[in-house]
Amino acid sequence: MDITLPNLQSGFTEFLRDPSNTPMPEGVPAERMRVYQDLVFRNIRTPLASNFPVLAQIASDTGDWDALARGFIRDHRAQTPHFPLLAAEFLEYLEELSHNPDNPDAQILLRYPFA
């Protein structure tokens, strides 16, 4: 039987949220999936870096900034339809993270106490 629409869509977004731990949707070329992966990651990472320039700068050499952006996409569910309010969603994510010491990314936050 064909896969239902909700399953096709959730398989797709689950992969985009966490590409390293999710199977790639069936029948889709890896190169084309990577286009979406990059679009989503860059579209979120770039504006966040201009909203949080200090954190982005000092945390980028260690890879921590990418890990936070990746964690945000994977673990946070942004509710605002207004893209310019992405920064507020990111702050919410950092707050969630600070209450969740079991998440390995919470360790990253400890290195940047001002965040």
Nearest C-alpha neighbor of 65 from the set 86, 44, 84: 44
Query: Which residue, 6 or 104, is less far from other proteins as judged by CB?
Result: 6
End-to-end CA distance of the chain: 49
**Shortest CB 61 distance to other proteins, Å:** 25
Q: Give the DSSP per-residue string, 27-83.
A: T--HHHHHHHHHHHHHHHHHHHHHHSHHHHHHTTTTTHHHHHHHHHHHH-----S-G
**Shortest CB 62 distance to other proteins, Å:** 25
Query: Which residue, 4 or 61, is less far from other proteins as judged by CB?
Result: 4
Q: Which positions lie near other proteins, rule CB under 8 A? A: 2-6, 8-14, 16-17, 25-29, 31-33, 35-36, 39-40, 43-44, 73, 76-88, 91
Query: Which residue, 26 or 61, is less far from other proteins as judged by CB?
Result: 26
